[in-house]
Amino acid sequence: MPVLRGAVTFSRFLVEPAEEAPADLKRWLTKALKARAFVPIDRRSEEERAVGFVELENHDSTEFPTSSLHYGEYALFGYRIDQIKIPAPVLRAEVDKWAANFAKEKGRPPSRAEKAENKASLRQVLRNRAVPSTKVHDLSWNLKSQQLQIWAASRTAVEEVLNAVETGFKVKLQPLVPAAIAARTGIDESTLGPTAELIGVDLPAEVSHGEA
């Protein structure tokens, strides 16, 4: 739970509503989170991933009560990603093992149709046994300043969560980085470089104090 541990790897955004902001932000947020809550992978299906919002301190819960969602001006929650992927070599080894037993019992190798049918059955068995890999990215949303932080290390993860927030809440997230802020406010980006004091360079006297 990086947001509660005080980790520093996060990306910060300004939330711009696509429509007029709702009167009751807290109720609106809870309703939107529940509508896009995490649902576990259906092992009977072909899907390999499941994504959605979860409570910050209980990644198996999607009730979002006020006591677990709101902390003063902040709404804290998570974005969960589950994945079940059966490695091809593992499935192939199981199919080869079955084919060898089949040939031993029947006195002939299995036909292509028999092999394909059993491959599907073995894949389902492996899916039922597999433990999904789970990742949860924390989100911190200041409902007063409309700043949102996504606690994720990789750009790919940040972009996935960003897209989920923009799509799910019908908002636009603007990066809060110097270059983006400069572009929005009309500031020349070239003036945002580090100062001489910051990089430890002594400026010539005529530059730092003016010519005598």
- Give the position of tokens 């190798």: 109
The per-residue pLDDT for 209 is: 45
pLDDT in tens, 151-164: 998 999 999 999 99
pLDDT at 6 over 70: no
Closest CA to 25 of 75, 89, 78: 75
What residues does 135 pair with on adjacent strands?
A: 81
The per-residue pLDDT for 4 is: 54
| Global pTM exceeds 0.75 | no
pLDDT in tens, 192-205: 455 544 445 454 55
pLDDT in tens, 95-120: 999 999 999 999 999 999 999 999 98
Name, of 102-111, 122-131, 175-184, 196-205, the range with top average pLDDT: 102-111
Specify the 3-state DSSP secondary structure of 146: coil
pLDDT at 212 over 90: no
CA distance 35 to 121: 34
Specify the 3-state DSSP secondary structure of 185: helix
CA distance 53 to 78: 6
CA distance 149 to 88: 37
CA distance 188 to 25: 35
CA distance 154 to 142: 22
- The continuous run of DSSP H or E covering 176 comes out as none
The per-residue pLDDT for 43 is: 86
Q: Where are the beta strands (DSSP E) in 24-93?
A: 49-55, 70-71, 74-83
Q: Indicate the DSSP class of residue 203.
A: P
Q: 196 Cβ partners below 8 Å, 6+ apart?
A: 202, 203, 208
The per-residue pLDDT for 191 is: 52
- Which of 8-17, 57-66, 167-176, 178-187 has the weakest average pLDDT? 178-187
- Give the position of tokens 């955004």: 13
Answer whether 59's CB lies under 8 Å from 4's CB: no
